[in-house]
A and B are shown apart, each in its own frame.
Chain A
Amino acid sequence: MVIKKLLYAMLLLHVFATTCHADEDGGIEYSGSGFMTLGAGKMLGGTQNNVGGYNCPCFIADYAQAAMYDGRSGLQFNPDTRLGLQGNAYFDNRRFSIATQVVARAASNGAADMEWFYGSYKLNDKITLQAGRKRLPMFYYSDAQDIGFALPWTHLPTGLYGWQVVNYNGINMQYQDQFGDWQASANLLAGNENRKNSGYWKVNGNGRQSVTNTQWTNIIGGDLSLVKDWFETRLVYIQSNTQDNNISGAWNYTTLTYDPPAGSAPVAKQQIYGLTLRADYQNWLLHNEFIYINHPGLTYSDFAQVVSVGYRHGKWLPMAMWGHYRGTVITTGVLPGAPASTANSQQTIALSVRYDLTMSSDLKLQYDSTSDHSGAGFMPNYGNSRLLTLAYDKIF
């Protein structure tokens, strides 16, 4: 039903796309644009189990949205299908602008979320000030995570990109400059985020029917990108306070029922360090990304990485990707049932191919194989999965 609604919406938007353009009215310029992904996936196999109310084998396509391919037979359309609309208004010869972006996801039963809503003021050629609701730029593809056409994969490597919070409300300052042959862009940000009914906690511990709110407060940080010809590197540091509040119960992995709400976890600090190394040399594309997150108050840490290589051949871009996530528990008992030093660990191998249908659309096919190396006591232990996905992306 949700897919039907989204398909109708996409059909309407194709019509909208043909009439969508920039208009000027009294010096104010308006534009409408959008993007969509129609995704279909087939679970090929894996560990059969019931985990957190999910019928596995299971593959998490997007942690923040609880987008999960599960063990049902046949094609599954919900996890990777989405539709986004963006409106922009430009003032003063594009020096000041307002942008809003709404995304509807089949994974959220078609509900539309406002992902971006911000004002942007270009102070000069190098500095732009922005305020409002934006993506939290933890990763290289964070900003573009919903825009399938901008990605080489049908879904982002979830071991790396899966997190509780992907947005924030606040302010940021962008700086762009050239130093010799190096192009530099830096971004400083500050803000807060209150994520209600977190998708992350549904698929990562508390269960499908659970409701957990997550707060990231006092977020401050920044990122720096340096580009020279075919080489690009990106550094990121973000810190914040975090707090999770379980509202309607958490899945009990022993009784396979929901326990009474666990209430609020203590406020804890986190420090996020990220590094991207990227090369786009002639026909070769290499994308390597790492993240380390330290949680001093919670005595555990996360490390994830992605190593991928692709080779462009005309309109084709085949890629191979290896990704790994490891959450290390430093003190026994911090995560329920987890033995010390062996906690949450998964590895994913993906083979994908992208074909550019037109200048604004593509078709992608991807095979994912995930293996779960978590400690025996760690939950949720989804086990292994093998998934085939096909995606059609379009921007307009």
Chain B
Amino acid sequence: MVRFNQLLIRPCCAIAALLLLSQSLHAEVVVVTGAKRQNLALSKKQVCDLFLGKVASFPDGVNAAPIDQPESNPLREEFYTNVANKSAAQVKAGWAKLFFTGRGVLPREGTDSDDIKRLLNLIPGGIGYIERSSLDSSVKMIQIVQTARINDIKGADFGD
């Protein structure tokens, strides 16, 4: 006969295991450029503006070419939640308004983090985001500057 506390413990253990799993799936996102690009320090707002098409160039005047992860990669949802406090669907709806109306050019899309690293070294002004675990010498991590504005955004542990 199964005791009451066994009935309670088994689902609790299962839920705890799922929570741990989901935490382990929660990859840390870093923002990167090509290896030859000069060192950059941007605020979250500046990164957000570049990926939302509100600003077309970096503070140093270089034209920016944002590169997205594919829609199927959960990193994309996490990136936009952290940097823009918006869902990836909201961001895409905003882009649809810009792209289909001649007010912006959609970010390029890499097939995965390796492809994004390859594109960053091919495209002038490329900026992308990958898992911290994918960092290597082919790309340079952008330092995310902490400002009062950044602290206002949820998830301020973004890539720094």
If A101-B100, A359-B92, A360-B92 touch, does A178 touch B105 (CB 8 Å cutoff)? no
User: Contact flags (1/0) for B133-149 with A, using CB distance below 8 Å?
Assistant: 00000000000000000
Asked if A97 is at the interface of the complex by the 8 Å CB criterion, the answer is yes
* 8 A Cβ contacts from A358-380 to B: 358-360, 362
Indicate if the CB atoms of A315 and B102 lie closer than 8 Å. Answer: no
The reply to whether A120 and B61 form a contact with Cβ atoms under 8 Å apart is no
Of B55, B96, B103, which one neighbours A395 at CB under 8 angstroms? B96
State whether A358 touches B105 (Cβ < 8 A): no
Asked if A224 is at the interface (CB within 8 A of a chain B CB), the reply is no
- Decide: B56 and A176 in contact? CB cutoff 8 A: yes
Q: A147-B97, A150-B96 are in contact. Are A125 and B88 (CB under 8 A)?
A: no
> Closest Cβ of chain B: how far from A182's Cβ, in Å?
11
CB-nearest residue of chain A to B125: A93
A-B contact pairs, 20 of them (CB 8 A): A33-B106, A35-B100, A90-B105, A94-B65, A116-B101, A125-B63, A130-B102, A141-B97, A143-B103, A144-B96, A144-B100, A146-B100, A147-B97, A149-B96, A176-B56, A356-B87, A358-B71, A358-B89, A359-B88, A362-B93
CB-defined contacts of B54 to chain A, threshold 8 Å: 183, 227
- In the complex, what distance in Å separates the CA atom of A35 from the CA atom of B95? 13
Q: Whole-angstrom distance between the alpha carbons of A146 and B96 in the complex?
A: 11
- Known: A125-B56, A315-B89, A356-B87. Is A118-B102 also a contact (CB below 8 A)? yes
Residues of A within 8 Å of B101, CB to CB, are 116, 135, 143-144
The answer to whether A330 has its CB under 8 Å from any CB of chain B is no
Contact assessment for B100 and A84 in the assembled complex, using a CB-CB cutoff below 8 Å: yes
Within the complex, the shortest CB–CB distance from A96 to chain B, in Å, comes to 12
Residues of chain A with a CB closer than 8 A to B96's CB: 35, 144, 147, 149-150, 395
Considering the complex, give the chain A residue whose CB is closest to the CB of B57: A125
Nearest A residue (CB) for B70? A359
Give per-residue flags for A239-260: 1 if the beta carbon is below 8 A from chain B beta carbons, else 0: 0000000000000000000000
Q: Which applies to chain B's interface (DSSP): helix, strand, loop or mixed?
A: mixed
Complex interface bits, B92-115 against A, C-beta within 8 A gives 1, otherwise 0: 111011011111011011000000
CB of B88, distance to nearest CB on chain A (Å): 5
Is the Cβ of A150 less than 8 Å from the Cβ of B89?
no
Asked whether B89 lies within 8 Å of A356 as measured between CB atoms, the reply is yes
Chain A residue numbers with a CB within 8 Å of B63 are 93, 125
Complex interface: chain B residues within 8 A of A312 (CB): 90
Distance in Å from the Cβ of B85 to the closest Cβ of chain A?
A: 8
Is A143's CB under 8 angstroms from B89's CB? no
- 8 tightest A-B contacts by CB? A143-B101, A356-B89, A150-B97, A150-B96, A144-B97, A359-B71, A359-B88, A359-B89
Over the window 59-92 of chain B, the binary record of Cβ atoms lying under 8 Å from chain A Cβ atoms (1 yes, 0 no) is: 0010101000001000011000000000111101
**Are B99 and A315 in contact, with the CB atoms below 8 A?**
no
CB A332 to nearest CB in B, in angstroms, measures 42
Most buried by A among B55, B93, B97: B93
A contacts with B, residue count (CB < 8 A): 43
Q: Across the interface, which residues of B come within 8 angstroms of A125, CB to CB?
A: 56-57, 61, 63
User: Chain B contacts of A120 at CB under 8 A?
Assistant: 102
**Cα distance A99–B103 when bound, in Å?**
11
Q: Note all chain B residues with C-beta closer than 8 A to A324.
A: none
Closest Cβ neighbor of A22 among chain B residues? B108
The smallest beta-carbon distance between A172 and chain B, in angstroms, is 9
CB closest residue in chain B, given A362: B89
Chain A residues lying within 8 Å of B65, measured Cβ to Cβ, are 94
User: Which residues of chain A are near B57, meaning CB under 8 Å?
Assistant: 125
* Complex CA–CA separation, A191 to B63 (angstroms): 31
| Chain B residues positioned under 8 Å from A362 (CB to CB) | 89, 93
A288 contacts chain B at the CB level, 8 A cutoff: no
Contacts A90-B105, A143-B103, A315-B87 known; A395 to B97 CB distance under 8 Å?
no
Q: With the chains together, A359 CA to B55 CA distance in Å?
A: 22
Q: How far is the CB of B68 from chain A (nearest CB, A)?
A: 10
Residues of chain B with a CB closer than 8 A to A93's CB: 63, 124
A301 proximal to B (CB < 8 A): no
